[in-house]
Amino acid sequence: MSFADFLEKSDGIHAVKEAVSGTTLVDEKSNSYVSRLKTIDTDIKADAFVCQLSTNDATKEKPLGKVSDRFDINSFDTQTVAGAIEYIIAYAQDTWNCPVIFYTQAKYDSEYYGEMVKLLLEIQKKWDIHISISGTMKKSITSQRRSENSTSSTTSTPQKRATKSGGSPRFRKFYMKL
């Protein structure tokens, strides 16, 4: 059961899911996150847009890119992780006028994924989005920051790993506050 299924069952939300195994944020194929985003009904009344920070981009080492200094949706390089994330945020905010939440995987041993999370934190500062970082990933980032002499923390994070049912109590609480 996905965490969207879990929230539907436990909290009665109606989730529109566009999950396709093996796809990436980076817009290289017709089934990328960016491409599938455009297939979602633009007339729905969304309370939030929730997006997973894809592990496939890390596995395939897609180009990270850089955070743009622009907000125009047509200015983002969707061939990079940063550009794809910014495009998704701009599209969701422009289309559904709702909060945007990105969440990370509970456990994914990859330095590259860690770099993607750092990039997402930079994007958060620009776009004022919500991020739910798994406890495992948070520990990794905290350790890296300490080694870089930085102790700041800028995100809401679940302290427990996601369960097999697809969600953590902290993420549910986080989502329900929006």
User: Alpha-carbon distance 75 to 65, whole Å?
Assistant: 13
**pLDDT over 70 (residue 61):** yes
Q: What is the mean pLDDT of the chain?
A: 79
Q: What pTM was estimated for this model as a whole?
A: 0.78
Indicate whether 140 pLDDT > 50.
no
Residue 70 has pLDDT above 80, yes or no: yes
148 vs 61 pLDDT, higher one? 61
Helical residues (DSSP H) of the chain, grouped into ranges = 3-11, 33-37, 55-59, 81-96, 111-127, 135-147, 169-177
Least confident of 1-10, 52-61, 108-117, 167-176: 167-176
Name the amino acid, one letter, at 136: T
More confidently predicted of 146 and 155: 146
Indicate whether 160 pLDDT > 60.
no
